Amino acid sequence: MVIKPLTAAAARRLRPGPKRRRIRDGGARSLFLIIEPSGHKAFQMRFRTPIGRIGKLTLGPLYLGTETAGPPVVGMPLTLAGARQLAAEVHRQRALGTDPIADHKARRHRARVAIEERKASSFAATVRNYIEEHAKPKTRNWRETARLLGLRYPKEGREPEPTHGGLVARWGDKPLRDINGHDVFAVIDESRRISVPGLEARSEHHSDARARGLFVAVSSLFAWAQRRRLVEVNPCRSLPRPASAMARDRVLSKDEIRWFWQACNSADAPRAPDAPRPFAPLLRLLLVTGQRLGEVAGMTLEELHADGM
């Protein structure tokens, strides 16, 4: 039985059926047009492998446009002429003793491995690992560090989420090795002039404190990554460190402490059920402990003893 060669017009007109259709092309050896019930059309080759089994190699989806420049390769959209040219090349490789199916599987595996390695070395993945493996077990202000780097930790037991516009969202898929000093300088300068990416500024004025906080967080991240051989250099080393805050020796007088405590007492007055929570306990704790606002505000039950102290 003579199999007629397919034409581009025939390939366009062929309709799907309730089951997959396999239309043989008489214009090329071992070449078929596969039509799925969904209507998707693709070219496929069927031939015996070196071990004697029937092997299948999908060349690419049918393309009904004009021919594109360059040689056709497996996986790209193919015209009928391109599919025939690629089928002839596959047979040529078989004649040279190679296994096109095994080679294609190996290329796909290498591509998947490269994608996984790229994801594992991305900025977003590195930030998560840095917080979980270093910042969380070794520092008290790890939540603030995560926020600066663009990662928000909600309630216990829930996965962290990227902050909108933060560094994890901005540099998420970018490999850590590709982030250079220019990138870091840009976000540090943005923090000084506007706000830390993803966080609302508490002041409209320039703030070296904001810039310094982000610089320390990013530099610590890269230093940790460098120790783990994830990067060769820390890009923050080539940047000037933002100025430190001026030392302050202002203390409250005895009268000011009394007035402050009385103001907290008035804040503890009965309130409506839907009223916001009072800040009086927080302010009193700040006064008697002298700790930083972020440390006290972010304190959890796990950081307290069983007697609540």
Q: Are 31 and 87 in contact (CB under 8 A)?
A: yes
Pick the closest to residue 221 from 148, 163, 165, 159 (CA basis): 148
Q: Are 84 and 28 in contact (CB under 8 A)?
A: yes
Compute the distance between CA of residue 144 and CA of residue 212 in angstroms, rounded to an integer.
Answer: 13
Domains in the chain and their CATH numbers?
Answer: 8-99 (3.30.160.390), 121-238 (1.10.150.130), 254-303 (no CATH)
3-state secondary structure of 297: helix
pLDDT in tens, 89-109: 999 988 888 888 888 888 887
Number of other CB atoms surrounding residue 189 within 10 Å = 13
- Distance between start and end Cα atoms, the chain: 91
CA-to-CA dists, residue 194 to 72, 203, 204, 205, angstroms: 50, 9, 7, 8
Q: 3-state SS of 221-241?
A: HHHHHHHCCCCCCCHHHHCCC
Residues 6+ apart with CB under 8 A from 285: 291, 296
Pick the closest to residue 90 from 109, 77, 75 (CA basis): 75
Going from the first residue of the chain to its last (309 residues), give the mean pLDDT of each consecutive group of 10, the final group possibly shorter. 84 91 90 94 89 86 85 90 93 87 81 66 91 91 92 78 92 91 94 91 83 94 93 91 72 84 69 57 81 74 66
pTM of the predicted structure, to 2 decimals: 0.51
pLDDT in tens, 168-217: 999 988 999 999 999 999 999 999 999 999 998 877 788 888 999 999 99
Compute the distance between CA of residue 269 and CA of residue 68 in angstroms, rounded to an integer.
Answer: 77
